[in-house]
Amino acid sequence: MTPLPITHATLTTALGAGLSAHLEALGDQRCGLTACSFDDVDLPGWIGRAAGLEDVTLPAALREYDCRNNRLAWLALQQDGFVQAVQAARTRWGAHRVAVLLGTSTSGILETERAYAHRDEAGALPAAFRYEKTHSTASLARFVAEALALTGPSWVVSTACSSSAKVFGDAARLIDAGWIDAAIVGGVDSLCLTTLYGFHSLQLFTADICRPWDAQRMGVSLGEGAAFSLLQREPAAGQAPLARLLGVGESSDAHHMSSPHPEGELAAAAMRQALAGAGLAPEQIDYINLHGTGTPSNDAAEDRAVQSVFGRELPCSSTKGATGHTLGAAGGVEAVISMLALRHGLMPGGLNVRERDPTLGVNYLQANRQQPVRHVLTNSFGFGGSNASLVLGKE
């Protein structure tokens, strides 16, 4: 594929708001996870909660979209001069030539959960509840497009944990087809009762903190996050991109509703496709940001998949021990973390490992490694075997 400049990016997670906050937290190997305390949830476990969402106030013109998910989107958009960068792109290309392509899994479902808790005696939902503007998955893209005054193609991908990685591929295809000149890509997912209790019912949300690649890993620590990247057909004169999107790989296992294929065969196929699109050999990748959820089956399957493509020497790690698993936002969040790795030569060590699993063979970093990084591959693998791999580079 033709390399696409990523001219601007931002993110907000439990580690903080904006690129600098994340670079500092990753550099310090700081964990953003805290003991589960959210609404009236009574579950043991750890969560990655974004600070300050209760205090976010949307502009009056966007107030109908008010929900935790869109507040998180709004908070992220205000960081790193991202709104101003989009305004410049809108002026340059035209509002109708800039797409909004985002991923989410639960969107604003918390708003519906709260509405159900306040039904009247006849079972009717509160009159103020606005499903279309809050809970609906489409509301995220509508909200962002309206907030940024964009009128180009707009949609939301919801393929569980691969959602906000797959939209990078959507943007590349639309630009290549000549339908658009730029795109806002990424994703947003916020905490809600459905995911906390749902993952608990699957025995995936456990009392122990998320420990990717640990011998005693037991499950995920759920988090929330928002990430946005601005892809453009070409950068403005004199503008140095943060990174370039070099390759995209996508595949579908169709193996099980909630478990990956144990051998990771089609996860490996997504990685190979991303490499082929980038025109790179496996040995040209410097670091892999793993999907690495900390569940026994996911880490084992991904370990096998990575070994089958890259062998055992390539440095890799999961950053979910720091942010929690941000579900539909994970692909976008970890793409931006991968851009930080490229820009600052930082391979972040995976957190919370007490005893490395001796049955897993990849070169899993437990401490930060500082060295030049030219190419990064980042994996996002969702429920049902929806796999996406991205290759990002400097050139």
Q: Annotated active-site positions, please?
A: 161, 291, 325
Query: Which one-letter amino acid corresponds to residue 28?
Result: D
Burial track 221-235 (b if 16+ CB lie within 10 A, e otherwise): bbbbbbbbbbbbbee
114 φ/ψ angles, rounded to the nearest 5 degrees: -70, -35
Give the integer Cα–Cα distance in Å for 364 and 348.
10
What is the DSSP annotation of 107-146? Answer: TTHHHHHHHHTT--TT-PPPTT--TTTTTSTHHHHHHHHH
- Residue 135 near residue 125, CB atoms below 8 Å: no
Sheet containing 46-48: which strands, arranged edge to edge? 34-35, 46-48, 222-223
Give the integer Cα–Cα distance in Å for 37 and 52.
15
What is the DSSP annotation of 262-280? Answer: TT-HHHHHHHHHHHHHHT-
Can you read off the two tokens belonging to residue 143? 């909200």
